Structure formats: structure tokens, C-alpha cells
Amino acid sequence: RALTPAVGPARDVDGFVRQFLRELNYTQGVPLSRSTLNDQYLALARTVRHYLMQGWIRTGKRRRDAGDKVIGYLSAEYLLGRQLDNALLAAGLEDIAREAMKECGLDVDLLRSQEIEPGLGNGGLGRLAACFVDSLATMDVSCIGYGIRYEYGIFKQTFEDGRQVEVPDSWLALGSPWEFPQPDRAVQIDFGGHTERYTGDDGRERTRWVPAWDVQAVPYHLLVPGYRNGVVNTLRLWSAKATNAFDLQLFNQGDYAEAVRAQTFAENITKVLYPEDSTPQGRELRLQQQYFFVAASIKDFIRHTLPADFDLHRLPERIAFQLNDTHPVIAIPELMRILVDEHDFEWDEAWDVTKQCFDYTCHTLLPEALEVWPVDLLGRLLPRHLEIVYRLNEDFLARVREQFDGDEVRARRMSMVQENPVRAIRMAHLATVAATKVNGVAELHSQLLRDKVLPDFSEMWPDKFTNVTNGVTPRRFVRIANPGMSELVTEAIGEGWLTDLERLRELEPFADDAAFRERFRAVKAGNKERLRQLLHHRDGIDLPEGHLLDVMVKRLHEYKRQSLKLLHVVSLYQRLLSDEVDPESTTPRTVVFGAKAAPGYFMAKETIALINAVAATIDADERVAGRLAIAFPANYNVTLAETLIPAADLSEQISLAGKEASGTGNMKFALNGALTIGTDDGANVEIRQLVGDDNFFLFGMTEPRVAELQAKGYVPGDVYASSPRLKSAIDFLASGEATGGDPSRAAAVVDDLLSSDRFMALADFDAYVEAQEKVEATYADTEAWTRSAILNVARSGFFSSDRSMRDYLDRIWNVSARS
Ligand code: 26W
């Protein structure tokens, strides 16, 4: 008997039904007649999983046999979105599953909607990681995505009286059919204690770390199926488990709380995702999370993925660890420690290997988002790692002084150790020194990274810096999210574009085809209807029909300027109430917001409350009914994005220039035929270059202009005084007229805008309103608008994450001379 992987179920409706019933009866333990929706969902998910298993086993074997170099993507976040939809698509089982469920008297769409998405990320950075692993599987590149299996992902957002209230996201509560726990592959992770010098047998002075406590890291595998190529890569997510479950003596004495204290402490490490986006909290638990998952990943790779006798001097031939921002950067001293303390490498030898194993991606421009770890905290938790960083820093600063003539000021600027306000390790500096390549995530961002964030480093190592513009997976964000448009595209240009997205170019001539435009509009109208249905059932929101759908969805942050959008809404409201214009002549518009705020971010939460208060006021005002509406569905997530984005006409990308590293929502909208109103920031710059000025509404200051104004001293009060329309909107808000007569609702946001306005919303207001007027004029010309929308789709193929991955392969991972 050949001991090859067991064959999967037959790829037909009959085979699918049989497997489904087997799952329901033998795994869920219920007959169909007694099964709940959740039983049915779990059985369906496990059935689909069966079809992927052979590919997964074969992919693993093929990669091990070939000794491929592995991309070890190290990311504290993966914002995956629903797994079933993607698995069905990747396996090519959508039709079979639909038919099979029908035969069982079930509705596949209803079952799909049961899944709670694994929200193991905050926003852009986590979603990007999910897109990247999808692309690598689709391109058959060997990749292991390493991360954390949070028991609770990003919180579920609810509104109480318009204010955000966070509820735990218990995504595992009803069972998780997509993961494979591997408790027998657990590795021990140490913390705390002290270090000791000793003399080895060879007479060499060495150091050993004597830790004080440890936890077990248990890997859970998730499948990462490639699109219809039989490839299945792996996400390896780590879960913390106490080394000693509990103290039986204490338990028997009746001290139950104390008996489980150690267990609770250990297992807290992977309990919950930090909901902080952009402003890191220097919390000990977060550092524990970071070290926990990278230490487990490196140990596991060396122990379980490499052959037993592998010579670690050759490590760079087998692994490229990609550091997704600074969160996993503690992996650098960890690898040094393993090589020097555990494998007897000479220091320089170890550094030579370590440098070749890491590359670093920076995802931000905000100075407050650059992680630093106070040395007292780091020294307490990871004493050996702190010593290693100090030594690396000494060596590095010696080089700086040598190369730059003893320039002490420069050395202090570049140091991995900051002295004020507290002595702390600058993780971005450590990453930049160690990495072979450092990249930003859009052209402008990479430029600013070189010129403003890390200028000394780019002067020292100009070739270390590169750009890879972000991308999004067209499988999820076009094919799954927008089946109607996908079908239309395939009809027009044939198959194949989903894995070769530049082929969307072939749609260009169709922009001039009136019949095609008509069908394109019908698809958009269908998507809007689908959104109306969803919001009605999900949120009790009834969207008006026939409006321009204007959408701003992203994390709530001042630099993204939801407040600027809100001022525009207030201004539109005022215009409708005034006698200046005939309401009938204005474009009916519905503005949709979606945004979560970090729980401790005061101004962000005030902005949410304010948007909700204005929305309630406008929606209750009969005078503007049918002309202006605002909807703010709670809990914006990947699942909602998939229905919202394909319905949008207008994509709001209005961050202050020089602040948004890239943006990826902007790409999703363009690919789904929304036109962008946006500033010259992040990947907006590239979107505009590609789709053309005529198909993009640009406004606002450029980054150099922002810098100039900043330098000169920005006074928001002056802008307020000099712009009548702005003044009127702010006064209206401040008076309480836009918040049901209650001025206190608007106070915090208005005060901040008038007194500080850190992100210069007021300075861009007039330009924004003007650009919005152009939007209305263009929208009035239905054919011209549709033409632009089609051209947006046709010219956005560049933003496939497959292209991003090709760029990483060329510019970062494949570099033959990794020096
Ligand atoms: C907790 C501290 C912290 C600090 C920074 C958490 C998260 C961050 C991230 C770097 C923030 C983030 O998600 N950045 C976003 O990354 C996306 C993917 O590259 C970009 O498209 C966004 O512009 C960028 O804001």
C-alpha cells in the first residue's frame, strides 16, 4: 500500500455532500435534522478543509525535499478576514458547495455568514500581512507566516449613546475549524532572571542567561491556500500555555485563586491583541508578546524546519526573516544570543550571519509610533538581550565615529539607546542597523523615511534603503468582494486577470463602450443594493436609494482627518438649510463612516461620538431628507469592508500629506471602481499617477508645503478667521445646531481644531470643499463618471499584492549578495 497522503473527498456534489454529512455526524455529533446553523457552518468549513489537506501535505513535503529558502514573515498581526469564503475560492469549490448545500436543504451564503472573522490585527499593517501570505501561496513561494494566536482579537465596537464601547472579540467561542493545534511541538520560552560569566571548556569567556520563569509556546497551524494551484502554505501562530498547569497542593488546600495564579499569568501573554494603532504603549505584557512569538518562531525554525545537523553558518541560505514593523525586532538579539551563547559562535561571526537573516519594513511616519523599550523594563524581562543590544550599539557607534570623524552629535542621534526622557532602546535603529534591507511601503513614504525619519542611516548606507509599494489581494478584495464586477471583467477580457492583475489594462477600451458602461453601472447598483440589505439587517440602518455613496473607512486617527470629512458634512448640511441653493439642484449624497478608535485615544473617541451625534441630527431633519444622510455602522472590519467597498462611488483618502505611510483601503476602492478624493499622500500619489489626473480628485497641501507651514508656525485660528465657509461650519458645530442642540457634544473636537489642529484640517478645508464641488459636477455627468470608474479599475492592476511580493523577491529577498 502506498503511504502517500490520503486522497480527499471526490470533487463533485455527491462527494461534497457525503463528506459534509460525515463531518456533521461524526465530528459535530449531530444528525442534519437536529443540527444548528453553527453545526452546519463547522461541518461545511471542515469539509472544505478536507479538499485542501492533500495540497498542504504535498506542499510541505516538496519544500522540505527541495531545501527551499523560506520567507519567515514575522508579524504580530494578521487581519485575516473570513476563512471559508477564501478557502472555497482557492479550492475552486464555490459551485459544488452551493449545489451540495442545496441538496441538503441549506443555503451556503447563510452558512458563510455564520463565520466570525479572525480579527488578529488592528488595521492596515495586519491586513497587509494577510494579503502578502495569500500572494506568496498563489505564487508558490515558500513562506511561513509567524504570529500570535490571540484568544481575543481586535475588540468588537458597539455604540452607546453614540460613544464607542469595546466588547471582547471571542472569535474562538463557537469552535475554530481552521486551525490545527500542535501541542507536541510546543517550545519553551524563557523570561527574566540574570546573566552569568563563566569560562567554557575551551577556555573562552562566555555568558549564560539564567532565566527566572518560562512558558510553553504551542503552535497552531492555519492553512494559507494559493489560488487554484494546489499550493497550501502555513501560518504558524503561537499560543501561550503555562509550563506547570496549576499547583495541586494549593488547590487541595482550597486556595483556588493562588493555585492557578501562575497559569493565568503565563496564559495572559496571548490573551488579547493590543488595540493600539500608531501609538505604542510601553507595557510589559506587550514586550512579552513580542519576544514570546519571535523566540518561539526562531527556535521552531531551527529545530523543526531545518534538518537536524544543519550548519547554522549557512542560515541565511535557508531563511529570510521579514520584520513587519518594529514589533518583532527583538528577534535580532535573540538570534545573536542563540548563535553566541548556545552555538559557540564568535561574536563577529554571529553578527555576520544575523545581519543576513533580517530585513525590516517600516509602516509609519509618526514619530510617536516608533517603538522604544525602556532599558529597566527590557533588562528585567530579557537581561541577556539588553546586554547584546548594548554591545551591538557599541560596535555600531564605533563605526559611526570612525566613518564620520568622531562626530559625537551624530553618534548620539544614531544610537540604539535614547537617553531622554528615559533611557530606552530605539527598536527602529536596531532594526535598521541589523537589516540587509529597509523598506518603506509607498514611494513617498520611502523617500520620507530616507530624508526625515532615518536620514543619518540612509547617508551611511544608501543602498540599504528601498521601496516596495503595498498591494492588496485581488482574490479577496475583487473576486470575493465583487463577484458581479469580476464576472463582467472576465466576460470582457477573459480569464487569468485574477493572478495577473495588470491585465485589467485590457478594460481600457471598454470605458468608451456605452453598453459596457451601462452594465458596469448595473453592477455598482447591485452592490449598493447588497449593502443596503446588509446594513438593514446588521445595523438597522436604512440607506436611501440613488445617492452618491461617499465612504470613509479606516482606523480613527487625527492624521487621517475624519474631522475634516465631518466639517464637510456640516457644511453640506448648512448649504441645504440655507436659501442659497435649490436643494433639488444638489447631488444627493450618503456619507458612510467606519472606524474604530484605540480605547485610550481620547480625541479619536470624541470624534466618533461627534460623528454619531451629527448623523443623528441630520437623519432626523426632515428638511434634508432625500438629499443628505450619514451612516456610521459600528464595528468596521474586513467582512464589512467586503460589502462596503464595492458599493462605493467616492473613496475618501484625505490624510495630511506626509502622514499616511501608504494606505491600502485606497487601493481596494480604486480596484472596485470608486473614484478617489485625496491628498498627495502615501500610495494616493501612485494611484493618481496611474489612473490619471482626470480620474482622481486631488486637493490639499503637498508634503513640502506642510513642512513649510509647520516651520513658519501654523495658527489654525488665522485660517478660521479668513475662510467664511469654514468659520460658518465651525460656528454651526460649536453652537450645537449640528448635534441636536447640545454644544457640549462638539466641544472637544472644535476646541482642538481651533487651538492646535495638529494635522492641519482647517488649512485644507477650502481646497477640500472645492474638490467636493468638482465631485458633484462630475457625478452629474453619469457617463463621464462611469468612464472614470472603469478607468480606475483598468489602471489599478499595479496594486495587486502579487506585484508587491514580486518586488520583495527582486529587491529584498533574492538579493544574491546579501551583505
Ligand atoms: C502599538 C504600536 C503600533 C505602532 C505602529 C502599532 C501599529 C503600528 C503600525 C505601524 C500602524 C500601521 O498599521 N501602519 C499602517 O501600515 C499600513 C500597511 O503598510 C499602511 O498602509 C498605513 O498607511 C500605515 O498607517
Asked whether residue 551 is assigned to any structural domain, the reply reads yes
Cell of 283: 507595557
Atom 16 of ligand 1, nearest CA residue: 125
Rounded Cα gap, residues 319 and 466, in angstroms = 20
What amino acid is encoded at 552 in this protein? M
Q: Which residue's C-alpha cell is 525554525?
A: 301
Atom 22 of ligand 1, nearest CA residue: 663
- Distance (angstroms) between ligand 1 centre and the Cα of 124 equals 6
How far, CA to CA in Å, does 115 sit from each of 110, 482, 621?
10, 19, 37
Pick from 171, 178, 21, 153: nearest CA to 90:
178
Pick from 643, 616, 654, 650: nearest CA to 632:
616
How far, CA to CA in Å, does 113 sit from each of 107, 532, 538?
10, 16, 11
Atom 6 of ligand 1, nearest CA residue: 277
Mean pLDDT of 573-594: 93
Cell of 249: 497542593
Asked whether residue 676 is assigned to any structural domain, the reply reads yes
Helix (H, G, I), strand (E, B) or coil at 254: coil
Is the C-alpha dihedral spanning 764, 766, 770, 772 positive or negative? positive
Mean pLDDT of 306-328: 97
Rounded Cα gap, residues 619 and 319, in angstroms = 56
Quickly state the pLDDT bin for 584 (edges 50, 70, 90).
confident
Rounded Cα gap, residues 399 and 355, in angstroms = 16
Structure confidence by residue, pLDDT tens digits, 90-148: 999 999 999 999 999 999 999 999 999 999 999 999 999 999 999 999 999 999 999 99
Q: Which of 108-117, 237-246, 480-489 has the lowest mean pLDDT?
A: 237-246
- Distance (angstroms) between ligand 1 centre and the Cα of 364 equals 6
Per-position DSSP letters for 256-286, written without gaps between them: HHHHTHHHHHHHGGGTB-----SS----HHH
Which pLDDT belongs to residue 258? 86
Lining ligand 1 with CB less than 6 A are 123-125, 128, 274, 276-278, 280, 325, 363-364, 369, 441, 470, 660-664, 682
Atom 10 of ligand 1, nearest CA residue: 363
- Distance (angstroms) between ligand 1 centre and the Cα of 788 equals 30
Mean pLDDT of 398-418: 98
CB 187 within 8 A of CB 217: yes
Rounded Cα gap, residues 535 and 752, in angstroms = 32
- Distance (angstroms) between ligand 1 centre and the Cα of 365 equals 9
Ligand 1 pocket mutation, candidates 325, 360, 361, 366, criterion most atoms within 8 A of CB? 325
Structure confidence by residue, pLDDT tens digits, 732-786: 999 999 999 999 999 999 999 999 999 999 999 999 999 999 999 999 999 999 9
Please check the confidence at residue 817 and state whether its pLDDT lies above 60: no
Which pLDDT belongs to residue 818? 30
Cell of 594: 467606519
CB 79 within 8 A of CB 122: yes
Q: Measured from the CA of 682, which atom of ligand 1 is nearest?
A: 23
Cα 250-255-257 angle, rounded to 5 deg: 110
What amino acid is encoded at 359 in this protein? D
Q: Measured from the CA of 128, which atom of ligand 1 is nearest?
A: 18
Rounded Cα gap, residues 500 and 417, in angstroms = 45
What amino acid is encoded at 719 in this protein? V
Structure confidence by residue, pLDDT tens digits, 257-277: 888 888 888 899 999 999 987
- Distance (angstroms) between ligand 1 centre and the Cα of 441 equals 10
More confident residue, 586 or 16: 16
Asked whether residue 756 is assigned to any structural domain, the reply reads yes
End-to-end CA distance of the chain: 49
- What are the residues whose beta carbons fall under 8 Å from the beta carbon of 524, sequence distance 6 or more? 646, 647, 649, 673, 789
Atom 9 of ligand 1, nearest CA residue: 278
Domain residues for 696? 526-766
- Distance (angstroms) between ligand 1 centre and the Cα of 279 equals 9
Asked whether residue 703 is assigned to any structural domain, the reply reads yes
Quickly state the pLDDT bin for 816 (edges 50, 70, 90).
very low
Q: Look up the CATH number of the domain holding residue 748.
A: 3.40.50.2000
Asked whether residue 117 is assigned to any structural domain, the reply reads no
Please check the confidence at residue 171 and state whether its pLDDT lies above 80: yes
| Active-site amino acid positions | 363, 554-555, 560, 664, 668
Asked whether residue 604 is assigned to any structural domain, the reply reads yes
CB 548 within 8 A of CB 675: no
The neighbouring-strand residues paired with 208 are 196
- What are the residues whose beta carbons fall under 8 Å from the beta carbon of 597, sequence distance 6 or more? 164, 555, 556, 604, 605, 607, 608
Q: Could you give the number of structural domains in the chain?
A: 1
- Distance (angstroms) between ligand 1 centre and the Cα of 173 equals 28
Structure confidence by residue, pLDDT tens digits, 20-66: 999 999 999 999 999 999 999 999 999 999 999 999 999 999 999 99
Rounded Cα gap, residues 553 and 481, in angstroms = 16
Structure confidence by residue, pLDDT tens digits, 624-679: 999 999 999 999 999 999 999 999 999 999 999 999 999 999 999 999 999 999 99
In percent, how much of the chain has pLDDT > 70? 99
Q: Which residue's C-alpha cell is 495540497?
A: 55
CB 253 within 8 A of CB 261: no
- Distance (angstroms) between ligand 1 centre and the Cα of 289 equals 18
Which pLDDT belongs to residue 245? 78
Quickly state the pLDDT bin for 385 (edges 50, 70, 90).
very high
Ligand 1 pocket mutation, candidates 125, 283, 438, criterion most atoms within 8 A of CB? 125
Atom 4 of ligand 1, nearest CA residue: 278
What are the backbone dihedrals phi and psi of residue 677, each rounded to the nearest 5 degrees, phi first? Answer: -105, 120
Ligand 1 pocket mutation, candidates 363, 439, 553, 679, criterion most atoms within 8 A of CB? 363
Asked whether residue 753 is assigned to any structural domain, the reply reads yes
Asked whether residue 246 is assigned to any structural domain, the reply reads no
Helix (H, G, I), strand (E, B) or coil at 180: strand
Which pLDDT belongs to residue 360? 98
Mean pLDDT of the residues in the chain: 96
How far, CA to CA in Å, does 141 sit from each of 53, 66, 488?
18, 12, 30
Q: Measured from the CA of 470, which atom of ligand 1 is nearest?
A: 19
How far, CA to CA in Å, does 586 sit from each of 43, 151, 647?
51, 49, 21
Cell of 259: 493555585
Q: Which residue's C-alpha cell is 544575523?
A: 354
Please check the confidence at residue 582 and state whether its pLDDT lies above 90: no
What are the backbone dihedrals phi and psi of residue 467, each rounded to the nearest 5 degrees, phi first? Answer: -120, 140
Ligand 1 pocket mutation, candidates 79, 364, 371, 468, criterion most atoms within 8 A of CB? 364
What pTM does this model have?
A: 0.97
